[in-house]
Structure 1
Amino acid sequence: MIKKNLKEWEECLPHVEFAYNRAVHSTTELCPFEVVYGFKPITPLDLLSLPIHERVNMEASKRADFVKKIHVKTKELIEKKGKSNAARKNKKRKEMLFKPGDMVWVHFRKDRFPKLRKSKLKPRGAGPYKVLAKINDNAYSIDLPEDEFGVSNSFNVADLTPYDGEDLGASRSTPFEGGGDMMRTSLPHYYLRHCQLKMNLLYEEETSIVRGGEEQLDVKMDVELDKELDMKISHGRAREEREACARGEDEVQAGPAPGQTGRHAGVPGP
């Protein structure tokens, strides 16, 4: 519908909205029009408001009660669907709770730390940092230097990992400070393992590319050398033939030496 009316797409929105409200949803098993009005209109004219009369219409009262029952049923279906989705999503989820004072690693999400996640080889986390307070079971307040990172110190539990190290003095408050090889001590072991595997893969890819290029270069050089050798051999043979021909012509022009016959040329006479 929109593709055929790209310049007048806003005029198609009422028709799209009406069609959407007439479609049955999997959660409520009803269309939005049935939930709100208690029936499915065929055309927009069916939604026109009726004139208000002072007399009470019994049919209207029954219709109102019917719509209320639909609202109650819809609420129950939505809650049931929400519980079903939560059970499916939380099936493999491990409950992780922290206490104020615990040390945790903080994961850098790309949408929240775009500058720190420009490169794939950069660290994806920092820490350990202290847990300041518990906001709820899914969020905690972390002792994160806001002036350095420029973000809020509230983090979801999915971005926090318990710190299981013993030597806190060997780690730094942030992995971006200088100081030799201290970067390795400021990251969890799985981050270091991830970076190591990625570096190994990159090295293997570059090595295979270089080896493949060297092999192609060796083959090319061998072909060129063979061509050059063939040319030298052919040129050498031609030169030898020319020299042999030249020697033969010289001997014919000079004739046999004194005391020699043509038949026994080169053999001393008696």
Structure 2
Amino acid sequence: MTHKHLQETSQKYKAHADSKRGMMQFDVGDFVWAVLVKDRFSVGNSNKLFARKIGSYEILKKINLNAYRLKLPSHIRTSDVLNVKPLIPFKVDKEDTRNANSMANFLQPGEDDADMMA
């Protein structure tokens, strides 16, 4: 392979990867999922079985292009200001609101499936 061919191929792969990296933008009032890493949990509370993707939570304030303040419940013991990187847009499928509601409430303290069935 020639040097020119390698450069062209590299640029093609870079262009494709860059098209997938779009900067996420959210507005106040939008709902998002937050992906938390174990560094976000207080010492002794991290567990490999903990949910990493939590939500859906409302965006209360846009701090800047890279940070947002979320409306987190009190049992989530982490800062309510998160970088845009771990945020995923929350989209509700209009035809399956039952599934969306159950996913939005899966981290409510004091509840389990048995309580929900009763």
Shorter chain as denominator, the TM-score bin is 0.5 to 0.7
Match of 1:178 among 107, 111, 114: 111
C-alpha distance in 2, partners of 1:103/1:153?
A: 14
2:96 counterpart of 1:156: no
Hey, what does 2:38 align to over in structure 1? 110
Query: Among residues 132, 136, 142, which one is paired with 2:60 in the alignment?
Result: 132
Write the deviation string for residues 88-122 of structure 1: whole angstroms up to 9, x where unpaired: xx946221000111110111111111555322x33
Q: Which residue of 1 aligns with 2:22?
A: 94
Secondary structure class of the residue paired with 2:75:
helix
Structure whose CA Rg is larger: 1
Q: Indicate how the Cα distance of structure 1 residues 164 and 118 shifts in structure 2: closer, same or farther if over 3 A, else same.
A: same
Mapped partners of 2:77, 2:23: distance in 1 = 29
Number of aligned positions between the proteins: 91
SS at match of 1:96: coil
The answer to which of 125-134 and 172-181 deviates more is 172-181
The DSSP-based 3-state class of the residue aligned with 2:57 is: strand
Deviations 1:187-228, CA, capped at 9 Å, x for gaps: xxxxxxxxxxxxxxxxxxxxxxxxxxxxxxxxxxxxxxxxxx
CA contact (8 A) 1:117 1:124 kept: no
- For 1:96 and 1:181, locate their aligned partners in 2 and report how far apart those are by CA, in whole Å: 37
1:40-92: CA deviation from partner (whole Å, max 9, x where unpaired): xxxxxxxxxxxxxxxxxxxxxxxxxxxxxxxxxxxxxxxxxxxxxxxxxx946
Please tell me the residue identity of whatever aligns with 1:149.
I
For structure 1, the 5+ residue unaligned runs are 1-89, 183-270
Alignment of 1:108-257 (within 5 A): 108-114=36-42, 115-119=44-48, 121-145=49-73, 147-166=74-93, 167=97, 169-170=101-102, 171-172=104-105, 174=107, 176-180=109-113
Per the alignment, in what secondary structure is the counterpart of residue 39 of structure 2?
coil
Query: Segments of 4+ in structure 1 off by > 4 A?
Result: none
- Cα pair distance change 1:169/1:130, threshold 3 Å: same
Give the whole-Å Cα distance in 2 for the aligned partners of 1:175 and 1:124.
14
Q: What TM-score do the two structures reach when normalised by structure 1?
A: 0.30
Structure 2 unpaired stretches of 5+:
1-16
- Could you say which structure has the higher helix fraction? 1
- Output the aligned Cα RMSD: 2.7
CA distance, structure 2, for counterparts of residue 180 and residue 110 of structure 1: 25
For 1:117, the aligned partner's letter is S
CA distance in 1, matches of 2:54, 2:36: 8
Residue type of the alignment partner of 1:95? M
